[in-house]
Amino acid sequence: MVPEELLYRALDLLWRRGWHRKIAKYAQAPHTARWQPLLYHAINSALAAHKAAQLLHVPEDQLAPLFAGMLIHDYTKTRQGFQELPSGGGEAPGKTLSPGEEAEARRLLEELGLSGEELELALKVALLNESPGKPVDLVRQFSVGPLPERLRDAAVLGDLLASLKGYWELPGRIGEILGRYGYRLAYHRVSQVRGVVTQIVHRAVARLMEEKGFTPLLYLADGIVYAGKEGAAVSEEELRRAVEEGLRGFLDSMEPEALGQAAFGNIVQTVIRAPELLKASPRAVEGLWGYVGGQRFIRDPSPSDRVMEAVEAAGFSGPGAEDVAAKVVSVKNISIVFKEVLRILEEGREEALSGLAEALGVSRERLEQLLTVGNTTSAEKLVSIILPFLRETGLLHEDHDKLVDRLLRAVEEASRRLRAGGELFRDEISLILGELYIWVDGRSIVPRRPEAVYEKGKDDRVKVCFLCGAPASYGAIASLTGDGAESFHNLRAGGEHTGGQNRAWICPLCRLEAMLRNLLGYDTNRYDVYYVLPAIAMAPGYAGRYWAVLVHALSSGEGGFSLHSPRFWERYLEGINPAEVARNPLRLHEALGDAEAAVSRLAERLKARYGDLAVLRDFGLEASDWREAAEKVLRGEAPPELLEELSAVVSGSDYAAVLSGNYMVVMAIAPGARDEAEASKMLRRLNRALMLYTLFHAFVYVPGEKMSPFPEPRPLGAAKVPLKADLAAMLRARGVVLRDGWVGFEETARLPADELSKALTAAELVVYELSRARAGYGNSGLLGVLSRPPGMILARYASALGAPLAGRNRERSRVFLRYLDVLEERWWM
């Protein structure tokens, strides 16, 4: 049986047994470890052991017993005694199963498809994978006899990797076991997790390490652990090139229009706000002209009075003068943008200008003269330069739209002949390398030594980035970094005037991060950021594949599968088994009743992207038409490479997601009505995070400062979002466990994470129904519902309906009562 089959079956069986609410790992000192539900610890140990078994060449027929045995290796932790340990009571269990537990474990193994010798071997693996904790365990271990050495080592490695507290543990037992089989351990780690940029770095370094013969073993938010036999050194030059290629690849995967829009700034201020995008990709230049060509300042400008006067002074009058003035302004604006493109893309200037002059049929001098105009050129001079240009090109009597089209075609063609000189993202990559640490077999390979700055001494005149503290070289722009770029903060002197250059400053790396998010349509002021960290961290292949399908489903659902959709909330309230969804996400669409639409939409997208089914066949996806291909993708039957390509970056109307094996960044539009109280929005945000936790088998972290980087968060629960102190107190009073802000998932809490999510979802549905009946609680929104007795809310709703039991209202009342019951059972009891 393939492990993939076992994985999905195990997920389902263990979920049904409630292992997602049982604790396997807990930390009294939060900085040294993370909290893990037993479900994920079991799955992670099994997957890591399977991976190790492949490296150690464990015989094929022992793989399924190894996987299944590791699933139940901590079976005794299901005991109440262990579950009460974190709260100070309880008792640590040993490894030996009671007769009842053994019977239940055997039943579980049988349901997994094991029998006979395989089943007995799995039980042996579960008992012998670690040292005995109690004398009775030692006696039991002796009585069953030893395991084959390679099998035992794979089992031990599986548990050790799944229990890793930090990179410092690697050289110990893990290194020693792998060393016996000739493997060297390595890892790469970043000091700051920045979101999109860090994902690109992880992917680039992982690719480079694989080229050097290392196999990724374990993915964490801030790095990857590898094992390899050869392992040549990694040079700074190779790293630099890998990261640059990663950045170029990311930009190439974007739509040209999006690139152009992100590159363009403002015609009267900074014309090109992201010149690197133009340098990085010729598609960005193409997209830039596509984007500006549709803008009003070119397509339908409003000439100023001065330009009108200058045109009239040149001998035009009436409607003709207005038309000429509009043409003058359009030509001026196209010229300003082209001049900026010329400044940024330095190479090929001569060739581009000659080509442009030829295409427009004007002399080179006339063209050079046109390129002298700017935003501050006087109206008289403007008209005196542009009118002869229009006459010479024959565009003066052309229709305005045709003039613009012809001119845009010509400058776009000329722009294609331009190339960027110098190294791309040089400063950014230098900073990235400064934050990157690579360790191979006990030796650190640090390309740059940022501590040299400290040894030399700091310079108090250097501006520092207000987001991460690195040396800053750009003024922050509100559209990139959010509101607050021109407000007071601790890095500025008090009382000084704010504005112009006197504003917040950012470093090249934070600017790059902001630029990449911007490319995905992210608006700091309107969107929230969710870091989704895989709970199944040992198998990015599986987690990535499942996520890829799910993210696809998420992005293709307009009214159905969206975390903001009441239809989805209803389905969620009825109960979604994420294990089933993992197996076949299309089922969720079917349950939501939009499977047909989801398949059609994806079929269209696939056709637009690949054009020919033969391309999909190259990926290994056989389909007779686009519909069949779309169905296979949504069912998770597409090859991983295709899914990875399709889902590395996805964006829908309400959110965008960037995905790597390490984590996923979801940028979703802020929930709730615009004027809803912030405290209510915080609770909605918490619910989104808990929904992602349930659906994605992942821990979710929502940063307080959306743009700021953070050190790797160690999950101490299901999800963490910024909460006001009184909100945290309210949640605690309802029985929610909050550990350093993380919502506890354990069953010993009166309201565990998944139940809290149901209560909040019910409350969101109540708010939605109240507003439909025009009986909402105004700005207080969600908080208004959560702080009132259900009967009071019902009275308000019934009164708004008028005749609550008449006609259609009866069904509405019945549904509303159901939501209130869910809320009452969890929140008010």
Nearer to other proteins, 136 or 806 (CB): 806
Nearer to other proteins, 298 or 793 (CB): 793
Nearer to other proteins, 144 or 815 (CB): 815
Rounded CA gap, 188 and 470, in Å?
Answer: 21
Nearer to other proteins, 144 or 805 (CB): 805
Q: In whole angstroms, how close is the CB of 820 to other proteins at the nearest point?
A: 7
Nearer to other proteins, 581 or 793 (CB): 793
Nearer to other proteins, 231 or 790 (CB): 790
Nearer to other proteins, 735 or 741 (CB): 735
Which one, of 423, 529, 504, 441, lies nearest residue 199 by Cα?
A: 529
Q: In whole angstroms, how close is the CB of 687 to other proteins at the nearest point?
A: 24
Stretch that binds other proteins, among 225-233, 380-388, 710-718, 811-819 (CB under 8 A): 811-819
Contact between 42 and 14 (Cβ < 8 Å): yes
Of 49, 234, 820, 822, the one binding other proteins by CB under 8 A: 820
Helix (H) or strand (E) run with residue 443 in it:
strand 443-445
Rounded CA gap, 690 and 744, in Å?
Answer: 11
For other proteins (CB under 8 A), the number of binding residues is: 17
Contact between 784 and 778 (Cβ < 8 Å): yes
Using CB under 8 A as the binding rule, the residues of this chain from 244 to 303 that contact other proteins are: none
Q: In whole angstroms, how close is the CB of 781 to other proteins at the nearest point?
A: 20
Stretch that binds other proteins, among 388-396, 686-694, 722-730, 806-814 (CB under 8 A): 806-814
Segments in 636-708 forming alpha helices (H): 640-647, 678-696
Using CB under 8 A as the binding rule, the residues of this chain from 527 to 556 that contact other proteins are: none
Nearer to other proteins, 233 or 805 (CB): 805
Using CB under 8 A as the binding rule, the residues of this chain from 786 to 805 that contact other proteins are: 789-792, 794-795, 798-799, 803-805
- Residue 146, CB half-sphere, CA atoms under 13 Å: how many? 6
Q: In whole angstroms, how close is the CB of 694 to other proteins at the nearest point?
A: 28
Q: Kindly state whether residue 817 participates in binding other proteins, applying the rule CB under 8 A.
A: yes
Rounded CA gap, 490 and 364, in Å?
Answer: 53
Nearer to other proteins, 190 or 767 (CB): 767
Q: In whole angstroms, how close is the CB of 800 to other proteins at the nearest point?
A: 13
Q: In whole angstroms, how close is the CB of 747 to other proteins at the nearest point?
A: 19
Using CB under 8 A as the binding rule, the residues of this chain from 744 to 763 that contact other proteins are: none
Rounded CA gap, 765 and 821, in Å?
Answer: 12
Put the strands of the sheet holding 742-743 in their side by side order.
Answer: 649-651, 655-659, 664-669, 527-534, 698-701, 719-720, 742-743, 738-739
DSSP class of residue 825 equals I
Q: In whole angstroms, how close is the CB of 798 to other proteins at the nearest point?
A: 7
Of 421, 615, 814, 825, the one binding other proteins by CB under 8 A: 814
Give the number of residues written for the chain: 829
Rounded CA gap, 139 and 124, in Å?
Answer: 14
Distance from the first to the final alpha carbon of the chain:
46
Residue 711 to residues 189, 215, 512, 556, 665, Cα–Cα distance (Å): 11, 25, 19, 32, 15
Q: In whole angstroms, how close is the CB of 827 to other proteins at the nearest point?
A: 13
Using CB under 8 A as the binding rule, the residues of this chain from 568 to 587 that contact other proteins are: none
- Burial state string for 159-182 with b = 16 or more CB within 10 A and e = fewer than 16: bbbbbbeebeebeeebbebbeeee
Residues in contact with 477: Cβ distance below 8 Å, sequence separation at least 6, in sequence order: 270, 273, 485
Q: In whole angstroms, how close is the CB of 449 to other proteins at the nearest point?
A: 58
Neighbours of 397 (CB within 10 A): 12
Q: In whole angstroms, how close is the CB of 556 to other proteins at the nearest point?
A: 36
Stretch that binds other proteins, among 54-62, 553-561, 599-607, 783-791 (CB under 8 A): 783-791
Q: In whole angstroms, how close is the CB of 793 to other proteins at the nearest point?
A: 9
Nearer to other proteins, 166 or 789 (CB): 789
Nearer to other proteins, 10 or 798 (CB): 798
Which one, of 158, 184, 183, 171, lies nearest residue 53 by Cα?
A: 158
DSSP class of residue 9 equals H
Of 2, 452, 493, 829, the one binding other proteins by CB under 8 A: 829
SS3 annotation, 597-631: HHHHHHHHHHHHHHCCHHHHHHHCCCCCCHHHHHH
Max CA pair span of the chain: 108
Neighbours of 371 (CB within 10 A): 15
Nearer to other proteins, 417 or 796 (CB): 796
Q: Copy the structure tokens of residue 730.
A: 């309210």
Q: In whole angstroms, how close is the CB of 799 to other proteins at the nearest point?
A: 8
Of 813, 822, 823, 826, the one binding other proteins by CB under 8 A: 813
Nearer to other proteins, 372 or 799 (CB): 799
Q: In whole angstroms, how close is the CB of 814 to other proteins at the nearest point?
A: 5
Residues binding other proteins (CB under 8 A): 789-792, 794-795, 798-799, 803-805, 810, 813-814, 817, 820, 829
